[in-house]
């Protein structure tokens, strides 16, 4: 960084992440013995001069492109779980007194198992058996082919197995895993439609009978 103050602030935050156990430096033995996949996420500064506590904010960029690929393109996007702002404002005005709070470094405070720290969640890295997950959650593992040269190392769980068909595609980039293509099966929403006709008696005597 050209700005010395920004560089010092950046370095201080990285040191704090290590001090608070949000990150750690891998030992030489770990680097030599670990044989699984390795994933990198770039980070950069975002300047917020209006903030007195963190004018330099570190952002981990999962949208960074490397050899035409970006991590976010391979992650399934979930639903928006944020509360509707209009509803928040209404609830805020319901009572006479309202409290607000903020959790500092909330994303760094979420603990991640060691197996997931390497970015690989599969039977080999986690030690989980497929039956353990399918039995507890009543899900079905649909991957029945090799996803790695050594075997099936990837999962695709669902409670609607008839709605998907899976197939194996070539490896992408420098990945050592084959690509899994999951296609939704187009099925009609109504399989057996029946027609029902209802005839109502609209005579005056019928209406009087109803009171």
The confidence score (pLDDT) of residue 207 equals: 56
Contact 61, 43 (CB under 8 A): yes
Per-residue pLDDT, averaged over 184-200, amounts to 62
The confidence score (pLDDT) of residue 113 equals: 65
The confidence score (pLDDT) of residue 203 equals: 66
The confidence score (pLDDT) of residue 126 equals: 57
The confidence score (pLDDT) of residue 199 equals: 61
Of the spans 1-10, 13-22, 29-38, 130-139, which averages the highest pLDDT?
13-22
The confidence score (pLDDT) of residue 121 equals: 59
The confidence score (pLDDT) of residue 54 equals: 76
State whether residue 169 is helix, strand or coil. strand
Contact 143, 134 (CB under 8 A): no
Token digits of residue 206: 């019928």
- Tokens 């779980």 belong to 81
Q: Which residue has the higher pLDDT, 210 or 108?
A: 108
Q: Phi-psi category of 55—alpha, beta or left, where left has phi over 0 and alpha has psi -120 to 50? A: alpha
* Local confidence band at 42 (pLDDT 50, 70, 90 cut-offs): confident
The confidence score (pLDDT) of residue 71 equals: 79
Please check the confidence at residue 188 and state whether its pLDDT lies above 60: no
What is the percentage of the chain residues whose pLDDT exceeds 90? 0
pLDDT per residue as tens digits for the range 108-163: 887 776 656 665 556 655 556 667 667 766 788 888 888 877 777 778 888 888 88
Contact 11, 45 (CB under 8 A): no
């Amino acid at each position: 960084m050209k700005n010395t103050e920004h560089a010092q602030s950046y370095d201080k935050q990285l040191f704090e992440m290590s001090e608070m156990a949000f990150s750690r430096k891998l030992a030489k033995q770990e680097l030599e013995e670990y044989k699984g996949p390795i994933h990198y996420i770039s980070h950069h500064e975002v300047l917020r001069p209006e903030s007195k506590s963190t004018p330099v904010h570190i952002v981990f960029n999962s949208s960074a492109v490397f050899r035409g690929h970006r991590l976010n393109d391979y992650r399934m996007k979930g639903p928006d779980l944020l509360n509707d702002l209009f509803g928040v404002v209404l609830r805020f005005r319901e009572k006479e007194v309202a409290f607000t709070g903020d959790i500092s470094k909330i994303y760094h405070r979420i603990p991640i198992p060691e197996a997931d720290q390497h970015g690989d969640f599969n039977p080999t890295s986690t030690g989980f058996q497929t039956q353990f997950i399918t039995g507890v959650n009543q899900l079905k593992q649909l991957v029945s082919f090799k996803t790695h040269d050594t075997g099936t190392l990837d999962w695709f769980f669902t409670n609607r197995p008839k709605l998907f068909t899976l197939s194996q595609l070539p490896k992408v980039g420098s990945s050592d895993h084959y690509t899994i293509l999951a296609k939704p099966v187009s099925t009609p929403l109504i399989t057996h439609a029946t027609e029902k006709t209802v005839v109502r008696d609209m005579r005056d005597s019928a209406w009087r009978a109803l009171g």
